Chain A
Amino acid sequence: RKEVEQDPGPFNVPEGATVAFNCTYSNSASQSFFWYRQDCRKEPKLLMSVYSSGNEDGRFTAQLNRASQYISLLIRDSKLSDSATYLCVVNSAGKSTFGDGTTLTVKP
């Protein structure tokens, strides 16, 4: 079993749709959680950290469930520019493990 597993995708949604990604992790000692965005042939960029109480940044909402060991990312009112691969990242003792990513395509 992989340490970090994400929805296989791809997700193809129309503009304006709401889409949710889930990610599960196996190390219960994990301390920090993040969502990154990666555009084609580019480096990953931090989208948002994920806090225990849940957090929101504009159209993006991240949730953490430590008991069930999963994190989620909700994107509301999808834009064409949201098309990218979204990477779930789990950090334990300074070492980060990346999920394989879920590809989102937002269509007009």
Chain B
Amino acid sequence: NAGVTQTPKFRILKIGQSMTLQCTQDMNHNYMYWYRQDPGMGLKLIYYSVGAGITDKGEVPNGYNVSRSTTEDFPLRLELAAPSQTSVYFCASSWGLAGGRYEQYFGPGTRLTVT
């Protein structure tokens, strides 16, 4: 199993550009999450999904959108990138309620710089 994969690994965006961060998991997990981590700080939840077709906002959703059309994929869309979105973005997945297990498995992250 590849686990959780994220693409791209690195990206530089200009202010106002848009992009989609890809996340795929092959563990058949129900729950998926997007976090951002600013330098020297903890993880902040952006959006999460408890299953295909269901998404919900986390702590810092402004400036982002998500969709969950399949169990495996959970892309994060940045519209009109701003310097404040410079961060490392981590995708994670877990079994969730169906499996009664909430330990999360993380992808390697996407390092995004907006200039």
Contacts and interface: CB of A to CB of B under 8 A. Distances in A.
Contacts of A60: none
A24 to B, nearest CB: 15
Nearest to B104: A96
Given A43-B109, A94-B31, A99 B42 contact: yes
A100 B35 CA distance: 13
A100 to B, nearest CB: 4
Interface residues of B, number: 22
A98 B42 contact: yes
B103 A49 contact: yes
A87 B103 CA distance: 13
A72 to B, nearest CB: 18
B34 interface: no
Interface stretch (B14-22, B43-51, B67-75, B76-84): B43-51
Contacts of A101: 42
B113 to A, nearest CB: 14
B12 interface: no
A89 B105 CA distance: 13
Contacts of A25: none
18 contacts: A32-B102, A43-B90, A43-B108, A44-B43, A44-B104, A44-B106, A46-B105, A49-B103, A94-B48, A94-B96, A94-B97, A94-B102, A95-B58, A96-B102, A97-B45, A98-B43, A100-B41, A101-B42
Interface of A: 31-32, 34, 41-46, 49, 87, 89, 91, 94-101
